[in-house]
Amino acid sequence: MSNLTQRNIEILKIIIEEYIKTGDVLGSKLLLKKHDLWVSSATVRNDMAALESLELLYQPYNSAGRLPTAKWLRAFVNYMMQQTPEYFLEEKNNSFSSGSIRDFSDFVHNIVFNLAKNTKEIAFFVLPEKHVSEYSGVSQFLERNQKRMWDDVLMLLKMLEDKPNFSSFISNFPIKEWVNIFIGEENILPYLKDYTIILKAVEIDDYIWYVGIIWGLKMNYSFNISAVRGII
């Protein structure tokens, strides 16, 4: 991205902030109405076209507006991973011991419930070795996605409810230390190309667990990264 100008970067920043906040397409006139860049609408349109040629923006339909691509979301998230503070609201839990089945069940429920409550996303907790999988936040998902094609919603819920296959799917991700983000087509499955998964692997009692959230590409990446990083 060495051939980007400072104005290009500023336009990218504005578009992604508006996208995360509203999900709306942002055209040159609306951009200049909200943010004074001291240039003409035609100049902004030319900048948008240049950014589109670099696959950082795309035109969802025949209009002057643009949305960020998964490529630009990836660059943005990589930056967030370096800048996001540890400010999750819940106290970390590093002392859990398996104990009774009731303790285990309560622990898993509390993890996914609190993560979904704080992020407003679908949260999940997976133990692949035992095909244990629990999720929370589906009602929020349905409420916020009423306009989304029903087939997409149905496919996502079927995936979450197929616990053995979902556990296997999550455990096959190339996981690194701390928090991992998989955006759009990085999620492999075609019907997840419009979603982001934020995932963290945790070792408890010699087992590898996975805790994370799944939602659309439009999300509060900064807070959600901190949420998954700090939940356990």
Ranking 92-96, 104-108, 209-213, 228-232 by mean pLDDT, the lowest is 92-96
The answer to whether residue 96 scores a pLDDT higher than 60 is no
Percent of the chain with pLDDT over 70: 83
Q: Which two tokens stand for residue 70?
A: 């998964």
pLDDT at 81: 61
**pLDDT value for 122:** 92
Alpha-carbon separation of residue 145 from 40, 86, 139, 142, 186 (angstroms): 36, 29, 10, 5, 22
Give the pLDDT confidence score for residue 147 in this predicted structure.
62
Q: Which domain holds residue 59?
A: 6-68
Q: Kindly tell me if the per-residue pLDDT of 101 is higher than 70.
A: no
Q: State the pTM of this model.
A: 0.70
Average confidence (pLDDT) over 217-222: 81
Residue 97's pLDDT band, with cuts at 50, 70 and 90, is very low
In DSSP terms, which residues pair with 179 in a beta bridge? 200
**87 has pLDDT over 50:** no
Q: Kindly tell me if the per-residue pLDDT of 114 is higher than 50.
A: yes
User: What does the buried/exposed string (b/e) look like for 33-68 if buried means 16 or more CB atoms within 10 Å of the residue's CB?
Assistant: eeeeeeeeeeebbebbebbeeeebbeeeeeebbbbb
Q: How far is CA 5 from CA 2, 12, 31, 141, 154, in A?
A: 8, 11, 17, 38, 43
- For the chain, the average pLDDT equals 78
Q: Based on the domain organization, do 123 and 161 belong to the same domain?
A: yes
Tell me the pLDDT tens digit for each residue of 148-193.
656 677 788 888 888 888 888 898 888 887 788 898 888 888 888 8
Asked whether residue 147 is assigned to any structural domain, the reply reads: yes
Q: Per the domain annotation, does 82 fall within a domain? A: no
Task: Please indicate, yes or no, whether residues 149 and 193 belong to a single structural domain of this protein.
Answer: yes
What is the number of domains present in the chain?
A: 2
In the prediction, which pLDDT does 98 show? 45
Tokens 């999900």 identify what position? 23
The residue ranking higher by pLDDT, 195 or 74, is 195
Q: What is the pLDDT of residue 220?
A: 81
| Domain-embedded: residue 48 | yes
Residue 232 has pLDDT above 80, yes or no: no
Asked whether residue 46 carries a pLDDT value surpassing 60, the answer given is yes
Higher pLDDT, 138 or 24: 138
| 109 and 220 inside one domain | yes
Helix axes 70-83, 221-230, angle to 10 degrees: 50
For residue 99, the domain's CATH number is 3.30.450.40
- On whether both 114 and 48 belong to a single domain, the answer is no
CA neighbor of 98 nearest in space, from 132, 124, 136, 122 = 132
- Together in a domain, 106 and 138: yes
pLDDT of residue 135: 92
* 4 compared with 40, residue with greater pLDDT: 40
Q: Average pLDDT of 79-98?
A: 46
Res 124: pLDDT? 94
CA–CA separation, 176 vs 154, rounded Å? 30
CA distances from 180 to 74, 103, 152, 211 (A): 11, 28, 24, 11
Query: Do 47 and 93 reside in the same domain of the chain?
Result: no
